[in-house]
């Protein structure tokens, strides 16, 4: 099929985006709407989610909201059932919600570990199971992982392990769902300041982005960089891409520990 600008359009499609109240999730939801999709968005932050929905509706698209905890399986099922009833189907699922905290492995309690597993992995399985009955041929599942799925992550052991688990789950689902022509891919962000990355946000705010950005060949990115990749994976332009990960990280994964010297060049 010839590549044309029209193939970038998401007109007539319905997308679900989790963790859509702010940061990467908000940017993805609004960008999908800008390309023509209607949205079902959810988050625990009701005021911020209302703002996201308003931005979607300002673009002339419909927004279906759900205030819920993505770890709550019955709540997820109810939200997706109501979204499918409102829109008639689901074409795109973006599992963006997640989070973590900095602590050595031995300081993480069993309860803390369970929370990290449920928020970063089980939430993904909840949404995939709930959405698949409403998805047809040509659907796209986009799971937001992290650079931490591909490297050691001191202080974030369980979080990183769950992000790696999502990446592996995505590869397997890509095979299992291929007969239905439903594609499954990941986005692995890094070096993108969001409310969920306070240390990085503080470095940028205080005028010291080089404290983190020195390890990033292209410097720091923005949430719109992730949104652009999600728009690509959601539509026909990526119709032959499945079971892979797009690293939206400014080259962090490629650098693998190399850092830019202030005077130019790189050091390991």
CB-based burial, 232-268: b 16+ in 10 Å, e otherwise: bbbbbbbeeebbebbbbbbbbbebeebebeeeeeeee
Distance CA 218, CA 223 (A): 15
The tokens describing 243, both together, are 């079971």
Neighbours of 30 (CB within 10 A): 25
Distance CA 135, CA 100 (A): 30
Catalytic residue among 35, 159, 212, 232: 159
Is 212 in the active site? Answer: no
Catalytic residues: 159
């Amino acid at each position: 099929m010839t590549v044309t600008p029209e193939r970038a359009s998401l007109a007539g499609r319905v997308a679900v985006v989790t963790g859509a109240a702010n940061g990467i999730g908000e940017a993805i939801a609004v960008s999908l709407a800008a390309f023509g999709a209607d949205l079902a968005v959810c988050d625990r932050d009701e005021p911020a989610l209302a703002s996201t929905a308003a931005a979607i509706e300002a673009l002339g698209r419909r927004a279906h909201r759900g205030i819920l905890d993505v770890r709550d399986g019955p709540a997820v099922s109810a939200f997706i059932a109501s979204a499918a009833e409102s829109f008639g189907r689901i074409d795109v699922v973006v599992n963006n919600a997640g989070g973590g905290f900095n602590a050595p492995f031995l300081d993480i309690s069993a309860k803390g570990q369970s929370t990290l597993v449920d928020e970063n992995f089980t939430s993904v399985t909840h949404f995939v199971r709930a959405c698949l009955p409403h998805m047809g041929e040509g659907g796209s599942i986009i799971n937001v992982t992290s650079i931490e799925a591909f490297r050691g992550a001191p202080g974030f052991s369980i979080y990183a392990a769950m992000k790696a688990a999502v990446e592996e789950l995505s590869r397997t689902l890509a095979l299992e769902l291929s007969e239905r022509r439903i594609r499954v891919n990941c986005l692995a962000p890094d070096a993108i300041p969001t409310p969920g990355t306070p240390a990085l946000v503080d470095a940028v705010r205080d005028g010291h982005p080089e404290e983190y950005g020195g390890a990033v060949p292209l410097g720091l990115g923005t949430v719109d960089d992730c949104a652009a990749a999600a728009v690509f994976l959601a539509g026909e332009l990526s119709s032959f891409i499945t079971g892979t990960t797009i690293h939206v990280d400014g080259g962090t994964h490629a650098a693998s520990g190399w850092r830019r010297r202030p005077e130019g060049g790189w050091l390991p």
